[in-house]
Each structure stands twice: as C-alpha cells, then as structure tokens.
Amino acid sequence: MLVLYGITSLQSYLYYIYYPKDDRTLKLTVAIIWMLDSLHIALVCYSMYYYLILNYANPLALFHGIWSLDVSVLVNTLIACIVQMFFTQRVYKLTPKPWKYPVTVVVGATVLVHFALGLETTVKFFQIQDFSRLSEISFNVALPFAIMAVISDIAVAAALCILLHNSRTVYHSTNHMLYTLMIFAINRCILTSVVAIIELIVFLRLQQTLWFLAIDFIIGKLYANSLLATLNTRRAISGRGLEESRGSGMTGTSTSFRIGSGGATTDSSRPGDTLEEDPIIDLAVLDSAKEYGNLGANMPHRTASVNVGRSVARD
C-alpha cells in the first residue's frame, strides 16, 4: 500500500514537472487525487495505530469498527469516481456529435450509480459499527457496489476503445498509437475490475475476517495511478519521450503531414534544413490532442487546435 502511495506521489511530482502548461482544471484534478490518496493513507495509519497500539492485547477491539476505516471507504469511492469521470469526459470529447450525449449519459450513469452505492456502503458501515454484522450488508449493499464498480470500468473502457478504433487513419504510426491507447484502456479496466472482484469474493466468503479491507486499501491507489499514468505517458505515446521534453539535445528525423498546393504529402526534416512556405501539422501533436479531448474523433481538420508550423526541404 505504501509502495503504491509512493508511486502516486512520484507520478504527481513528474506530472507537474513535465506538463506545466496543462489546463488548470487538470492540474487541480491531479492535486485533488494526490490529497485524497494522502488522506486515505493517514486514515489507514490511524486505524492501525488504534488497533495495534491503543488496543494492544485487547482482541475484543477487533470486533468493532472505527470511524477512520469507514471514511477510508468513502475516500476510495471519491478517488474512483473522479478518475472515472475524467475518462468519461474523454469519451464525451471523442464521441461524434450524433452520439455524443447518448454515449456520455450511459457511461456517466454507470459512474454515478457506482458512486451512489459507494456512499450507501459507507453509511451502512457507520451504522453497524460491528464487524460481526457485516453479513447484514453483504448482498443488499456490498454486492451491488462491487458489481457497479466492474460495470462502470467496463463501460468507460469499452467506449474509449470503440471511439479510438473508429478514429483510425491511413497512417500506420497514428493507428499504432491508437492501438496502444486502446491497450492502456483495457489494461486499466482489467486491473481495477479484477481487484474489485477479488475483494467481493473475499468479503462474501470470509465475512468474519477483515481480509477484504487489505484489498480495499489498494484499489483507490490503482485508480489514482491509472489516471496519472495516462497523463504522464502522453509524450511517450506520441513518440517524443520525457527526455526530449526536458531538452536533452537528442537529434533525429521528424515526420509531418504537409498540406500544400500539390495535395497532402509526408515530409521529413533534420536540423539545418531550410524553410518553405507550406504549413504542416505534426502528427504526434495531432494524435496527442485527439486522445485528450482537444480534437473530436470526427474533426481531423480543425487546425486551430493543433501545432501548425512551416514545412522544410533539405538542401
């Protein structure tokens, strides 16, 4: 758990270092995710202090819940909801207009139901305050909560994969990047869904133990790291890499898409080449913007949203 929190902190730090020009809303989202994850760690540490130090050699204390454990469930639910809403927003910006609102409403509804059931689960934990009574909420609260966690993850991942698949172009490099993003979306869904299913199975089969809490402690951090990993791999996926973004001085050949009087052609440039007058659009920038919602999946010609420069020709 502490290892995952360390990864969350490191990824948050790297995000602010490598992406200082991101939108303020996105920066605030990352800050909120990190603060919630830090709060979750504090709640868990206090719970351990309560049971292991304050109630040392008092096994009867293990039968009763403590407020910090209940709140930790709520914090994990908040983290999951924020991350899922972030990806839902990506779905909204990538969906073509005729389907934009229906698809977003369906995906967003699964996320909101998941959040509502998480709130209900937290309230029930506060009400029973006795681990021996966990069986009372197994099937009417915990089971729907876990099922909706899986359904919402699958809905978000499926929508993103379908939209990215429909965004394919005639360019192999662009399609390769889209397939990479699809794999990322599927892996994120599989990871969080499998952990949620394992937690549910442990909760239902071992109701008189607290093993399910050990799994619940990490699920929020998996959501947080999935969001941060998505943000921090943008340059790498678009073929640039973090080292280049820091000005490492590496040289190479860049490929662009030229829009000139003679039609659409590709062009390669190297340091020292001379400038011409035809504007070009960097495919890497186009792809990155497309994934993160700056361009719609059906709007490849909105050049105001991409990096427009000058084409080059070798001497």
Convert the pLDDT of each residue in 243-267 to its tens digit.
444 444 433 333 333 333 343 344 4
Cα–Cα distances in Å, from 254 out to 36, 122, 251?
Answer: 41, 53, 9
Total tally of structural domains belonging to the chain = 2
Convert the pLDDT of each residue in 165-208 to its tens digit.
887 777 777 777 778 888 878 877 888 888 888 888 888 888 77
Residues 130, 256 share a domain? no
- Final residue before a domain boundary, out of 179, 202, 232: 232
Amino acid 140: pLDDT: 83
Residues 294, 160 share a domain? no
Residues 269, 227 share a domain? no
Residues 228, 93 share a domain? yes
Residue 40 resides in a domain: yes
User: Do you know the residue count of the chain?
Assistant: 315
pTM of the model: 0.73
Expressed as residue numbers, the domain containing 257 is 250-313
Convert the pLDDT of each residue in 130-156 to its tens digit.
877 877 777 788 888 888 998 998 999
How many angstroms separate the CA atoms of 1 and 155, rounded?
27
Residue 70 resides in a domain: yes
How many angstroms separate the CA atoms of 138 and 206, rounded?
11
Residues 173, 99 share a domain? yes
Residues 269, 149 share a domain? no
Residue 245 resides in a domain: no
Residue 243 resides in a domain: no
Residue 51 burial (CB count, 10 A): 18
Residue 171 resides in a domain: yes
Residues 195, 260 share a domain? no
- Tokens 């929020």, residue located: 220
CATH of the domain at 116: 1.20.1070
Residues 154, 118 share a domain? yes
